[in-house]
Amino acid sequence: MLKQILLSTKIIIMVLLSGQIHADEVKIDVPFELLELIGDVEYGEYLASDCKTCHKANGESGGIPNIHGKSMGELITALYAYREKIKPNPVMQMQAGRLSDEEIAALAAYFENLINWEE
């Protein structure tokens, strides 16, 4: 019973946080502990220098999606899914494979808040 309540709470929070999940997509069950972390934006900025070599400010380049301004829920869900190899992409699986929960939260907080990204 308690387990069921916890599970449904988790799903509701997940749906609220992630605009990207559609009913027909593979369900990505991001752990509650990860979703509730508060990301450190400055640490995220530090970590993001690697990401920005591929993810450029202006839209897609060579099939690399723009991640600027995506919601925190979308970013966390995507990074978690690559790390756990739920989402198939070798490049991003390798990138996310080294990230701790704290680092995912920090990167998501940074990219979500990135308003003027000029590089």
Give the nearest distance from C-beta 88 to ligand HEC in angstroms: 7
Tally Cβ neighbours within 10 Å of residue 107.
Answer: 28
Q: Does 13 contact ligand HEC by CB under 6 A? A: no
Considering only residues 21, 35, 92, 106, which one is a binding residue for ligand HEC as defined by CB under 6 A? 92
Residue 111: CB partners within 8 Å, gap ≥ 6?
A: 44, 48, 51, 67, 68, 69, 70, 75
CB of 116 to ligand HEC, least distance (A): 18
Q: Please give the Cα distance from 24 to 10 (Å, whole number).
A: 19
CA distance 72 to 17: 7
The answer to whether the CB of 21 falls within 8 A of the CB of 14 is yes
> What is the per-residue binding string for ligand HEC in 38-57, x denoting contact by CB under 6 A?
------------xx-xxx--
Candidates 79, 106, 109, 114; binder of ligand HEC (CB under 6 A) is 79
User: By C-alpha distance, which of 107, 119, 29, 31 is closest to 70?
Assistant: 107
Task: Give the residue, chosen from 21, 67, 105, 114, that forms a contact with ligand HEC under the rule CB under 6 A.
Answer: 67
Nearer to ligand HEC, 10 or 55 (CB): 55
75, 106, 109, 114: which one binds ligand HEC (CB under 6 A): 75
